[in-house]
Every structure is written in C-alpha cells, then in structure tokens.
Structure 1
Amino acid sequence: MVYCQSCVHRDSWSLDGAKPLPGAKLSITCRDANKRVMGCQKAIADESGYFLVEFGETKVSDFYMGDPRKACYVRLLASPDIKCNEPTNINFGIEGAPLRDEGKRWHGEGYDYVVYATGPLAFRPAICMPKHHY
C-alpha cells in the first residue's frame, strides 16, 4: 500500500494519520541467479492505495538465490499529488523495499500462484508548517 504521510510525523517512519495515495507509481525489479535484472515492471496504486503486479510464469530457481524475497524489491517512483510528492524511505521505499511471503497460494494449470507483499510505503508533503512557533 502507498500512503501520504502526515506532516505531524515527518522525519519518522510513523504512518499514523497517513492517507492512501491513489495513482502513486512504483517499480518492482527482480534479479536472476547471476544478479542481473530479469524483470522490471511498473505499478500504479488503485483508489485505495493498493498496488499489484503479476510477473507471469517464472521458476523460483530463476530468481537470485532461488528466492523472490531476496531477488525482488519495490521502489517509489512518482506521486500524482503535487502537495504530497516527496518520497520517503519508510520500509525502504527509496532504497528498495524487500518482499515478504504472504502465505497465499493457489494452483493454476501446471503452476502455483504465490502472493508477496511489501511496505507500506509513503510519500510526504514537501512543505509542512513548522512544529514550533517562535
């Protein structure tokens, strides 16, 4: 999920009071067994701030160290909100947020679907009123 962080919690990882950020753009990059980029896709958060990317049919052994959690990461790209467009590194949204296995699986025709998640990630307002008045 992608949020707009409240000015109250600027310079922290807190998302108290944060609001979903529909239309936020992200990238998901995965590396192969030789650490080369094997896939990179963009995602756009829906009206609730959630995003989803499907990588299609891929063997687990194709990923770096045989594990998508070690091979893939998500980064914030852009915010559609001019008042909340500064990326934060909450959950490593700038450096590259790792994936975690959500334990959700179901069988397809000859393969399994596996759901991974990351985040939550956030942008913040570039300009916030000072916390202290002088």
Structure 2
Amino acid sequence: MAQAFLMMMMIATSSINFAEAFKEEGGMGGVIHVGGKVLCQDCSQGWNEWVHGAKPIKGCKVSITCMDERKRVIYYGSDQTDEAGDYEMTLNKYINGGKELDPNKCSVRLVSSPDPVCNIATDFASGRSGVKLRRPTVVYRDFIKHVLSPFYYTTPMCDEPDAATTTTHSSSSSYAKQTKY
C-alpha cells in the first residue's frame, strides 16, 4: 500500500513538473492563437448576393506582424487559407530568450490571393491596412484565441480608385508642367 502511494506521488510530481516545463517552453500557456476567414465578394452580383454570397478563397496568405515598444518588428508569421477560407496562426507568447510578446502590438492583414479573378484586397474589417489584436475572443484556462472578422478580396472591376491618390497625382503632374516653363 505504501508503495502504491509513493508511486502515485511520483507520478503527480512528474506531471506537475512536465506541465510547468511545457508552459515555460511555449506550451499552451505561452501560445496565442489567431484565426479567421478570407472571402471573395463579387460586386457584379445583386446586393443580397454581394453581402451574403461571399465565397471562401483557398490559398490566400494572411500575415501577423508584432512590434516592440520602439516600433521595431520582433515577430512576423503567416498562414495560408484552407478550402473553407480559414487560417489559423499560432505564435509563442515568449520570444527571443523569454521576452513576452504583447498581443496589443500585433497586426494581422491580407498579403496575397491566388485567385486570378478575386485578387484585390479590400479594407472591409481592415484586411488591407491591418487589424490590431485587442481583446481575445476565447480565453479558457491557458488557451487564448483571437477570432477576427472575415477579410475580403474583390474583383478588379469592383475596385474603386482612391480619390486622394488621383487628386494628389494629377496636381503634382500639373505642378511639374508649370515648373518646366
């Protein structure tokens, strides 16, 4: 009976040590999960299809960039979407020899789309400019996950030109023409 008790104590102690080591080495306690979906919106459809009929894109690249206090990149990672348009990135909370990563200084954005028709990144849900990680969506014990709103690509025919860029460009070229004389 004493041997069984001693064996149980050894197993319990080794389990606790394993769990602590796992946590310190970037296990569940040291990991941040980021996930979401990438869809294609086609503006050539009717309004209802455009809003509710977005289709997932397989193979889109989505990236995450994390900065430090001095606004230097300390982490960059990316993932590609699956058949359902879903991506899932996992990053260690502790990098560079134990320095803790601040998720509030991380930004997720669209990078590229393999779809030859639907390949213009939109800024719906800040997909083109990047969305900052704020509050986690799921927190359960040591599990932390940020589930982001869907990002969207669209077709070139749906892309609206940026009026500020066009105005700036045309005014600078007219300025160049005036300075030649």
TM-score of the pair, normalised by structure 1? 0.74
- Structure 2: stretches of 5+ with no match in the other structure: 1-36, 159-181
Q: How far does the alpha carbon of each residue in 1:32-56 deviate from its partner, in whole angstroms, 9 at most, with x for none? A: 2332211010110111111011112
Equivalence for 2:87 = 51
Equivalent position to 1:89, from 123, 136, 148: 123
Q: Is the 8 A contact 2:93 2:100 kept in 1?
A: no
Q: How far off its partner does 1:57 sit?
A: 4.0
Does residue 124 of the first structure (1) align with residue 154 of the second (2)?
yes
Q: What's the CA shift for 1:105?
A: 2.9
Q: Please list every run of 5 or more consecutive structure 1 residues that lacks an aligned counterpart in the other structure.
A: 107-111, 129-134
Q: Say if 2:112 is the partner of 1:78.
A: yes
The structure in which a higher percent of residues are helix is: 2
CA distance in 2 between partners of 1:124 and 1:22 (Å) = 14
Is the 1:21–1:49 contact (alpha carbons within 8 Å) kept by the matching residues of 2? yes
The CA distance in 2 between the partners of 1:15 and 1:90, in whole Å, is: 12
Q: Over the residues paired in the alignment, what is the CA RMSD in angstroms?
A: 2.4
Aligned-residue identity in percent: 35
Aligned residues: 115
Shift of 1:15: 4.0
With structure 2 as the length reference, what TM-score do the two structures score?
Answer: 0.56
Higher Rg of the two aligned structures: 2
